[in-house]
Amino acid sequence: MNISRQLRGLAYQVFYGLPLPVRRHLARAISPKFLVGAVAVIRDSEAAEPGRLLLLRQPSSRGWGLPAGLLKRGELPAVGAARELFEESGVRIEPGDLRPGNPNAILHPNAANVDMVWFGWVPASTTPLVVDGGEVLEARWWPLDDLPALTWPTARLLGIYGLGPKAGELPPSVPAADAAPTRPASA
């Protein structure tokens, strides 16, 4: 048995000999921390393929982005996505009507952020868009084959799901056919 294996075994014995509250405190102190957000990819249920996508223009960005934000403590990801969608665009979708992307969680490169991605469909012609003019300057439907300049995170995220200008850059573990959920039959 080598020395590093013995030391590791001893460290585990010491750790598991500590009281549970102390072990939890130590684990939280040394574990990586992530901010968890929710992203809503909302498509026009009335548009013919390739369809239209709801995008937002925010004062802090140099391009258009998706409705998104951080989850509140204890908030379920679909609930957070529906809340952020409504707060930023005025579009109301029930959390149960959102479908998870595949993959559902996207880790941002070089950052400690994880986004839970949800897809939804609404009829654009009868769904009013309402923005506050502060956090969001403009909300608009864009044809998927003629998108405006996107923020880098938005272009990357859409590309993972086979949408937008980076559609060909899918990770090898996600088949293109399985990435973005298709429109539900009832939409």
* Per-residue pLDDT reduced to its tens digit, 91-146: 999 999 999 999 888 887 777 788 999 999 999 999 999 998 888 999 999 999 99
Q: Which CATH number characterizes residue 61's domain?
A: 3.90.79.10
pLDDT digits (tens, 9 = 90+) for 168-187: 765 655 555 556 777 766 55
Domains identified in the chain, total number: 2
| 56 pLDDT tier (thresholds 50, 70, 90) | very high
- Residues 107 and 117 sit within 8 Å (Cβ to Cβ): no
Same domain, 26 and 40: no
Query: Per the structure block, which two tokens stand in for 13?
Result: 């014995």
Where do the H-state alpha helices sit in 31-111?
77-89
Average confidence score pLDDT of the chain: 87
| Single-letter amino acid, residue 43 | R
Q: Which two tokens stand for residue 177?
A: 């056919």
Domain containing residue 2: 1-31
